[in-house]
Copies of this chain bind each other. A is one copy, B any other.
Amino acid sequence: MDSIKNRRTIRKYKQEDIPEALLNELLEDACRASTMGNMQLYSVVVTRSEEMKKKLAPAHFNQPMVTSAPVVLTFCADFNRFSKWCQQRKAVPGYDNSLSFLNAATDALLVTQNFCTLAEERGLGICYLGTTIYNPDQIVDVLQLPRLVMPVATITVGYPDETPEQPDRLPLHGVLHQEVYHDYTEKQIDEIFSYKESLPENKHFVELNHTETLAQIFTDIRYKKADNEAMSKVLAATLARQGFGDE
């Protein structure tokens, strides 16, 4: 499993298509992931056409991978298919609520990660687009997602045309807790983040952005409170629109 250990996100792809048979094989194997009660509460929308990539791009803040990757996959939490089956079998589904959304989102994300692992093992490169849950309303419209279907992850896939450095990670003890959660002291936080802060590329990043600390790049530029709050409202509204809102 060196492919997991050595993995890096790939944002530049060769002009080479992914054979449909390969893509389907990877997706079929990915569906072996654990799923709540074997309900398989997900759907995957495959985007290959230029036209659809262009329509999806704004939802992902026009990140170039969306239009340059041969394949874009949108993984969705899906209780529509299962509920339709229930209705056709004299069973009354009760999955229009937030718990069911989180169940289905979990199912979808486990398959997403399985797909990424399998794709990388076969020499493909992937980029995970976190923007999916920032603009879910736009994605619902573009991909024509019906009630009880909600996008939760987008992956761009292609043959790598770059070999980026592997990004840093926090030391394992910084994310591990034995038996109970031991909340962090100031000193521990300093220690856990010290390697990240010491990296030349992060120091350069701070200079470039004219902030005093690396953390301020996150809070003041990249992931701002006001943006998070505005996007939380979009998320809640889209969940309600897709039938996953409570009450």
Contacts and interface: CB of A to CB of B under 8 A. Distances in A.
A181 to B, nearest CB: 5
Contact of A30 (B4, B34, B170): B4
A180 B228 contact: no
B94 A219 contact: yes
Contacts of A219: 86, 91-94
Contact of A102 (B44, B82, B92, B235): B235
Interface footprint category on A: 35 or more
Interface stretch (A57-65, A112-120, A157-165): A112-120
Interface string A29-69: 11111101111101111111100100000000000000000
Contacts of A47: 179
Interface string A116-160: 111001000010101001100000001111100100110000000
Nearest to A145: B181
Given A81-B184, A97-B232, A133-B103, A37 B168 contact: no
Given A4-B33, A76-B181, A236-B246, 16 more contacts: A1-B117, A1-B118, A27-B172, A31-B172, A40-B169, A45-B179, A85-B189, A91-B216, A91-B219, A94-B223, A95-B223, A98-B235, A114-B117, A143-B181, A149-B181, A229-B246
30 contacts: A4-B33, A4-B114, A7-B32, A27-B176, A31-B170, A36-B130, A37-B218, A43-B176, A44-B175, A45-B179, A48-B179, A52-B180, A84-B184, A85-B192, A85-B215, A88-B190, A90-B215, A91-B218, A94-B224, A94-B225, A98-B232, A99-B134, A99-B231, A103-B130, A106-B153, A110-B112, A110-B113, A113-B113, A146-B181, A236-B246
